[in-house]
Amino acid sequence: MDRINRKMEHSFITEKLRKQFGEDILDVDDNSDILSVTIASPVSYDVIAYLKENPGLGFNFLTDLCGIHYPDRGLSFGIVYHLHNFYENKRIRIKTFVSADNPAVRTVSDMFSAANWMERETYDFYGILFEGHPNLKRILNVEYLDYFPMRKEYPLEDPTREDKDDRYFGR
C-alpha cells in the first residue's frame, strides 16, 4: 500500500545505519515482511537513539520489545525491538544478541517510556538484565520464583505437582 518505493527506502535506512555504525551492523535481512537489522549489543542504545532522533529516519514509536532464547547458539539470548515511524509509515525490527553468562544490554526506557514494563517482562521471562532500568523486578510471575520460565530448558507444566496420574497424560 505504500506509495513510496519500498526497496529504495530500505536501502536508504541501511545506508544511513552503516555509515553511522559501520561494523556494528551485523546483518540486514530484507526478505521477511519488514526490514530486520541485527546489531551488536554494546551499541543497541545508540542505534535506537539514532533511529529515533535523526530527522531523516524518525522512528518515534516503540511497538514492541521482546526476548527470545536460542540455546544452541553462542549468543543465546536475543532482544527484539519493533519500531514504527508514524510519519512515513515504516516499520523496522532491530535484533541484538547477548550471551548467557552476561545477558545485559542498556535500557531504552529513558527514551521510550513504553519500554519500562516491556523490559521488566523480558527480564521476568528470560533473565536478561537491562542496565539503568529504574525498577527491574518481576512483573508477571510471583516474586519468589527462582528461575526464568520462558527459557527453553524449563517445562511448561508445574514441576512441583504430585497429583498427576501419568496414565491420563499420555506418559
Partner 1 sequence: METTKPIYAKADPPEGYSAPGLFATTFDRVVGLARKNSIWPLPFATSCCGIEFMATMGAHYDLGRFGAERLSFSPRQADLLMVMGTIAKKMGPIVQQVYEQMAEPRWVIAVGACASSGGIFDTYSVLQGIDRVVPVDVYVPGCPPRPEQIIDGFMRVQDLVANESLRRRYSPEYRELLIKYGILKKD
Partner 2 sequence: MATTNEKQYTTLNLGPTHPATHGIFQNILKLDGEIILDAEQTIGYIHRAFEKIAEHRPFYQVTPLTDRLNYCSAPINNIGWHLTVEKLLGIKTNKRIDYMRLIIMELARITDHLICNSVIGVDSGALTGFVYVFQERERVYEIYEEISGARLTTNLGRIGGFERDFNPAVFKKIREFLDRLPKVLHQFEKLLKRNRIFMDRTIKVGPISAERAINYGFTGPNLRAAGVDYDVRVMTPYCSYDDFEFTVPVGAQGDTYDRFCVRQEEIWQSLKLIRNALDNLPEGNYHMDAPQVYLPEKQDVYSKMEALIYHFKIVMGEIDAPVGEVFHSVEGANGELGYYLVSDGGRTPYRLHFRRPCFVYYQAYPEMIRGGVLSDAILTMSSMNVIAGELDA
Q: Is 150 in the site for partner 2 (CB under 8 A)?
A: yes
The DSSP secondary-structure symbol of 26 reads: E
The option from partner 1, partner 2, none interacting with 49 (CB < 5 to 8 A, set by class) reads none
The footprint of partner 1 (CB under 8 A) covers 140-142, 149, 154-159, 161
How many Cβ atoms sit within 10 Å of the Cβ of residue 115? Answer: 21
Residue with the three cell numbers 535506512: 13
Residue with the three cell numbers 551492523: 25
Tell me the C-alpha to C-alpha distance, in Å, between residue 120 and each of 37, 131, 137.
Answer: 23, 12, 6
Which of 14/141 has CB closer to partner 2?
Answer: 141
Residues 53-92 that bind partner 2 (CB under 8 A): 60-64, 66, 68-69, 80, 82, 86, 89, 91
Q: Is 12 in the site for partner 2 (CB under 8 A)?
A: no
Which of 42/71 has CB closer to partner 2?
Answer: 71
Residues 111-140 that bind partner 2 (CB under 8 A): 112-114, 116-118, 121, 125, 138-140
Q: How far apart are CA 21 and CA 39, in angstroms?
A: 9
Q: Is 33 in the site for partner 2 (CB under 8 A)?
A: yes
* Residue 131 three-state SS: strand
Query: In angstroms, what is the minimal distance from the CB of 1 to partner 2?
Result: 6
Query: In angstroms, what is the minimal distance from the CB of 154 to partner 2?
Result: 9
Q: What is the DSSP string of 48-110?
A: HHHHHH-TTT---EEEEEEEEE-TTSSS-EEEEEEEEETTTTEEEEEEEEE-TTS-EEE--TT
Which chain residues interact with partner 2 by CB under 8 A?
1, 32-34, 36, 60-64, 66, 68-69, 80, 82, 86, 89, 91, 93, 112-114, 116-118, 121, 125, 138-142, 149-150, 156
